[in-house]
Amino acid sequence: MKRDFAVALIAIVLLTISACSGRSIDQEHKNYLKGFGWTIHFYESEETMELSLYPETVDSYHASNIYFLDDHIDSEVKVSNYTLEQLDDGGEPIRVTIYEKNNEILGAIGVLPSWTPGLFNIKDKEQLMVEGLIE
């Protein structure tokens, strides 16, 4: 009886985990990030939204060398979030958000959890390594 309960509980947990992940990694996204030296660890989420950014947010993006969204403000975009295999200097997994419009990748923004402001252009991996911000 206890064994049957344990097996059923394990099955429920596994089904819940697979249902939550529910989607595999988009191959185009995988190849896009790989082209800049990044490796996706797992898929987090995806949503379609209107890209509304405050001027302060745009300024923050520009300070982090992120300009690809400038021509798409107030447009509908698809946003896909991933956790990468790479870690920041605090040992935390780096996250990345890929922006698409009309099935075309516009670019991606990375987030270093242990760093402030934490945002970076994914094309700047070498610079982040030189500065010691990623392992």
Q: Indicate whether 10 pLDDT > 50.
A: no
- Quick check: 98 and 80 in contact, CB under 8 A? yes
What H or E segment, with its residue span, contains residue 129?
helix 125-130
Both tokens of 1, joined, read: 């009886």
pLDDT at 24: 83
Residue 61 lies in a domain: yes
- Quick check: 82 and 96 in contact, CB under 8 A? yes
Place of tokens 């991933």: 82
Residue 87: which domain range? Answer: 25-130
pLDDT at 17: 41
pLDDT at 8: 33
What CA–CA distance (Å, rounded) separates 30 from 19?
A: 21
Q: Residue 58: phi, psi to the nearest 5? A: -60, -45
Residue 14 lies in a domain: no
- pLDDT per residue over 64-116, tens digit each? 999 999 999 999 999 999 999 999 999 999 999 999 999 999 999 999 998 88
pLDDT at 114: 87
Q: For residue 30, name the pLDDT band (cuts at 50, 70, 90).
A: very high
pLDDT at 96: 98
Residue 58 lies in a domain: yes
Mean pLDDT score, 14-43: 79
Residue 95 lies in a domain: yes
What is the pTM for the complete model shown? 0.80
- Quick check: 78 and 50 in contact, CB under 8 A? no
Count: domains in the chain: 1
What CA–CA distance (Å, rounded) separates 129 from 98?
A: 21
Provide DSSP, 61-124: HHHTT--TTGGGTTSEEEEEEEEEEEEBTTSPEEEEEEEEETTEEEEEEEE-TTSSS-EEEGGG
Residue 77 lies in a domain: yes
Residue 3 lies in a domain: no
Q: Indicate whether 9 pLDDT > 70.
A: no
Residue 69 lies in a domain: yes
Residue 75 lies in a domain: yes
